[in-house]
Amino acid sequence: MPVQPIRLFGDPVLRSRATEVVDFDKELRTLVRDLTDTMMDAPGAGLAAPQIGVGLRVFTWYVDGELGHLVNPSLDLSEELQDGPEGCLSLPDIVYDCRRALSVVATGFTMYGEPVRIEGSQLLARAIQHETDHLDGVLFLDRLDADSRKAAMKQIRESDWFGVDRPTVRLSPHPTRGLGL
């Protein structure tokens, strides 16, 4: 399957809530393969569909030699927390300590529509939470303390990739009655 371009910070798709998957068809299986190939090529510990411009609730992960995917995830988080370094393929070279639940029980579906339950802790728990956040339009930057977020934003503004290939916003030629640009 082809490796897809990864959307970078600033792309509106990264701030939009993804839509629930309702069709477990060939197109979904192709999406999961594209996500997997793109994640492995990057390489990364996880990749969510919005990161390749697809607004569906699907992500893949590769942690400790385990490759997996989850469709329409629902998470049950532990009360116990962990702090640790976190980065994102949509924010190249940006890594900051981020607080997450230590363990997670994730339920959802496989690409074939079969129910699945994933239990993980440490890095797998972090990856599942991070990718599920992407499906809700949340970036790990949003979970940083104020000082770290400020430092990360400065680092982003100074990066070589920031502002490159920004999406073009087109204005509607039709009256929008204040409902759009």
For residue 107, the domain's CATH number is 3.90.45.10
Domain total in the chain: 1
119 is known as an active-site residue: no
User: According to the model, what pLDDT value does residue 173 have?
Assistant: 53
pLDDT band at 162 (very low <50, low <70, confident <90, very high): confident
42 forms bridges with which residues in the sheet?
A: none
Name the catalytic one among 79, 119, 131, 158.
131
User: Which domain range does residue 63 map to?
Assistant: 12-158
Tell me if 164 is assigned to some domain: no
Tell me if 96 is assigned to some domain: yes
* Cα separation values, 86 from 40, 96, 109, 114, 147, Å: 17, 6, 26, 30, 16
User: According to the model, what pLDDT value does residue 71 have?
Assistant: 98
Q: What is the pLDDT of residues 81-117, one digit of tens each?
A: 999 999 999 999 999 999 999 999 999 999 999 999 9
Tell me if 90 is assigned to some domain: yes
Tell me if 50 is assigned to some domain: yes
pLDDT band at 16 (very low <50, low <70, confident <90, very high): very high
Residue 163 has pLDDT above 90, yes or no: no
Tell me if 146 is assigned to some domain: yes
Tell me if 175 is assigned to some domain: no
Tell me if 172 is assigned to some domain: no
Share of the chain above pLDDT 90, in %: 85
Q: What is the pLDDT of residues 116-136, one digit of tens each?
A: 999 999 999 999 999 999 999
Tell me if 17 is assigned to some domain: yes
The model carries a pTM of: 0.87
